[in-house]
Structure 1
């Protein structure tokens, strides 16, 4: 996918982003030579080799036991990270040291490698994602308030990138909630196809990527439905949320969630998944958040955003070893 700046700007001055799939190079590009020929070769030949490998890996991993599938991902991470992701490794160490100043070097190092093990596992676990809830590998904690909120009216499910966050989708559907998801498809065509196929089979619908998701999201919420959006986020390898000890901003998903909730009356329902051991998980609900009444939503925006941040930040701080963005830049 490619990002293009939309002319529409928020009051903060940040340009909104659109996501568009790049067009496939044509035979005229092949004949043109130069960079256009290289683009044709990459799209139709080189990339398709990787696409075949991705598809073979995805369907091949379905043929082995669930625990073995997950363990392969951890082994691959242990092999790949110190060789090809040295910068990410250094950032993860530095961030954990800063966020956990009372931890010893041994505790930091152990947390770093638990984190990369988790990241490796979640990549291969996509092949068995549909099996985890039916086979009893997910337990549910404090999810009744989320079900009650969804039954009463529109909800914005505020997800976190903890554990294997993809488990949230089948878990939420198992609770009887069918959200429409805000997501950015992977750049690789086969991986995008796999992700869409798995999520659709689970029962998840999709919003358009980028700024074009806003109008359909509002329509769904005004009809009493549910959408999901991630509250924690990284952009261009920098941690955008939570804020931790940094100056808050109004340019991320937390502000979007607040604006949508104010516009539609939706309840904000945070939730997350933690890995317990191997390929077993807990799905946790956080107490739903109803924004307090106000005659000045714009004037309260910062305060409302901090309310959401204060709900998710302690959870992430408690589980940095399972947080996806720990290897992004904190400053």
Structure 2
């Protein structure tokens, strides 16, 4: 019942929100988070507070959870306006030189994280002319699937469905060197957030070790990227230096090197991580 109520609210608000200024849309989304969402999902509220206690004991768990819900709900509300963000001057970019250097040297895998409003990440790649190809899982509702797919295609990207057959088209993207493979390191499968480790031990399955396998197969650079939400409806897209994988190391050593980078990024910005409400220890 809670899921149906949330899906109905999302569907009902989407088209009216298109008609409002972007800043208003963000405020409405964040306001709904404060007034509605925690009541719909009290178990996720408790889980998020436990996550902050475990991973960021320096933060007040109640305040941090409220900020986390605000970012999540604002991100969903912003889907109605996101294709206008670049032209409205709402996105700044840090680290573009890392992308350009990696693209010049060879294939490029963008190791994405679901921070800030994650859809801004693919939009940034497209606007920089780097032609993103996202490895995408299906959204939890048909309506959201339709909305997200439309945003990604109209925004200048395309998608590979994240299933057992995704490996070959992903390798073709990398070997073709005309597009950028956008591969999420914090994959959420079967109710489990598989990466980054966040104190749970080395990642032996999921997208982090798979990205290392792709790098071994194709020689691609792995460049971490994420979006930081700024005050107002503004965003900063970060691209970090390519991850230095051990040249002769094992898959486990390579995964540990990549995990160490993305783990630190997520911990520092835990209130803006979309999976804070879903993460579990162990």
Q: Distance in 2 between matches of 1:169 and 1:206?
A: 11
- 1:75 positional shift: 1.4
> 1:18 — aligned with what?
none
Q: Distance in 1 between matches of 2:189 and 2:198?
A: 16
> 1:314 — aligned with what?
264
Q: Distance in 2 between matches of 1:245 and 1:188?
A: 32
Larger radius of gyration: 1
**Aligned to 2:136, what secondary structure does the other structure show?**
coil
**Aligned to 2:36, what secondary structure does the other structure show?**
helix
Q: Distance in 1 between matches of 2:230 and 2:84?
A: 17
> 1:101 — aligned with what?
57
Task: Could you tell me which runs of 5 or more consecutive residues in structure 1 were left unpaired when the two chains were aligned.
Answer: 1-48
> 1:178 — aligned with what?
131
- 1:108 positional shift: 2.2
**Aligned to 2:250, what secondary structure does the other structure show?**
helix
Task: Could you tell me which runs of 5 or more consecutive residues in structure 2 were left unpaired when the two chains were aligned.
Answer: none
5 Å-filtered alignment, 1:86-165, equals 86-103=42-59, 107-165=60-118
5 Å-filtered alignment, 1:242-321, equals 242-294=196-248, 300-321=250-271
- Given the two structures, how large is their TM-score scaled by the length of structure 1? 0.79
Q: Distance in 2 between matches of 1:146 and 1:204?
A: 17
- Whether the 8 Å contact between 2:203 and 2:256 is mirrored in structure 1 is no
Tell me which of 50, 56, 61 is aligned to 2:17.
61
State the Cα RMSD in Å. 2.2
5 Å-filtered alignment, 1:44-55, equals none
- Whether the 8 Å contact between 1:138 and 1:280 is mirrored in structure 2 is yes
Change beyond 3 A, Cα 1:51–1:322? closer
**Aligned to 1:241, what secondary structure does the other structure show?**
coil
- Given the two structures, how large is their TM-score scaled by the length of structure 2? 0.92
- Whether the 8 Å contact between 1:69 and 1:124 is mirrored in structure 2 is yes
Q: Does 2:273 correspond to 1:326?
A: no
Q: Distance in 1 between matches of 2:182 and 2:28?
A: 30
> 1:12 — aligned with what?
none
Q: Does 2:171 correspond to 1:218?
A: yes
Q: Distance in 2 between matches of 1:218 and 1:311?
A: 23
- Whether the 8 Å contact between 1:262 and 1:291 is mirrored in structure 2 is no
Q: Does 2:189 correspond to 1:235?
A: yes
> 1:33 — aligned with what?
none
Range that drifts further, 229-238 or 154-163: 229-238
Q: Deviations over 1:132-183 (max 9, x none)?
A: 1111111111121112212332111100111111110111112221121100
- Whether the 8 Å contact between 1:233 and 1:325 is mirrored in structure 2 is no
| Highest RCO, 1 vs 2 (Cα 8 Å, sep ≥ 6) | 2
5 Å-filtered alignment, 1:67-82, equals 67-82=23-38
> 1:192 — aligned with what?
145
Q: Runs ≥4 in structure 1, deviation > 4 angstroms? A: 49-56
